[in-house]
Amino acid sequence: MDCCKCYKPIPEARLKALPNTKTCVSCSSVERDYVRTIISGKTTYSEVEVIKNKDTKDYLQKLDSKGRQGFGSMLYRASKSIPEPKASNVKLNTRVARTMPEFTRANFEKVLEEAMLFLDDKDYAIQKVEKACEQEMISGVQRRQILEILEVFKPTPKVVKPKVEQEPVDDEILHAFRNWKM
C-alpha cells in the first residue's frame, strides 16, 4: 500500500501496527507519544506510562534528560530540590579498573596441599581454605572441590540421635482425644 500524500510505499511493520493507516510515518500528522518507565515500590517492578499531552511530554523529557537515561526511572534524580553537580567539581577519569584474579591450577594445588597437612585438625584446614578463597587465591568452585576432597579423606562424624521410647498411654485418654469435639 502506498502513502496517500507522498505516494511512497508504507512499511509493512506500520501497516501491521495500524492496519487502517493511509500515510507513512514522515507524512503522518499524529505526533509521537512519549513513553517512560516508572518504578513503583521498593522492588524492581516497573510500569510504563504513555504521555500524549505535548506540554507534559516536553517537561518530562527535560527532567529525564538531566538524569540517567535508559533502564530505570528519573523520578528521584529529576527533582528540582536536588542540585546538579558543578562542572568544576566533576573529575574526569576517576574510575579505577579492578583486575580480575587468576585462579590457577598451581594455586589450587598449593591450597589443597596446605589443607591436607592440617587434616588432623579439620576445622583449621577448612579455615585455611576459606581464607585462601577470601584472598582470591582460589575460586569458589575450587574451594568447594577442596572441601569435598577433605570430606572424603576425613568424613565428618554423623550424629546419631538417640531413639526416644514412647510411654504407653491409657486407653481412656486415647479415647478422649479421638472423640474430642469443640
Strands (E) across 26-172 are located at: 34-39, 46-51
Has residue 166 been placed in a domain?
no
Has residue 142 been placed in a domain?
yes
Query: Are 35 and 70 part of one and the same domain?
Result: yes
Has residue 165 been placed in a domain?
no
Has residue 43 been placed in a domain?
yes
> What's the pLDDT score for residue 77?
47
Rounded to whole angstroms, the Cα distance separating 29 from 17 reads 17
Has residue 45 been placed in a domain?
yes
| Secondary structure class of 35 (helix, strand, coil) | strand
> What's the pLDDT score for residue 40?
61
Q: Which of 37, 38, 17, 43 is nearest to 28 (CA)?
A: 17
> What's the pLDDT score for residue 78?
46
Number of domains forming the structure of the chain: 3
Rounded to whole angstroms, the Cα distance separating 125 from 148 reads 12
Single pTM value for the model: 0.39
Query: Are 22 and 41 part of one and the same domain?
Result: no
Query: Are 26 and 1 part of one and the same domain?
Result: yes
Query: Are 120 and 147 part of one and the same domain?
Result: yes
Angle at 36 between CA 32 and CA 39, to 5 degrees: 165
For residue range 66-94, list pLDDT tens digits in order: 655 444 444 444 445 555 555 555 556 66
- 31, 55 contact by CB (below 8 A): no
Would you say residue 164 has pLDDT above 70? yes
What is the arithmetic mean of pLDDT over 93-111? Answer: 81
β-partners of residue 51 are: 34
Query: Are 22 and 43 part of one and the same domain?
Result: no
Has residue 99 been placed in a domain?
no
Has residue 163 been placed in a domain?
no
**What's the mean pLDDT when you consider all of the chain?**
79
Q: How many CA atoms lie within 13 A of 46 on its CB side?
A: 13
- 104, 138 contact by CB (below 8 A): no
The domain of 113 spans 105-153
> What's the pLDDT score for residue 95?
67
What is the arithmetic mean of pLDDT over 51-79? Answer: 64
Query: Are 70 and 40 part of one and the same domain?
Result: yes
Has residue 49 been placed in a domain?
yes
Query: Are 116 and 144 part of one and the same domain?
Result: yes
Confidence of residue 182 (pLDDT cuts 50, 70, 90): low
Cβ within 8 Å of residue 130, ≥6 positions away:
143
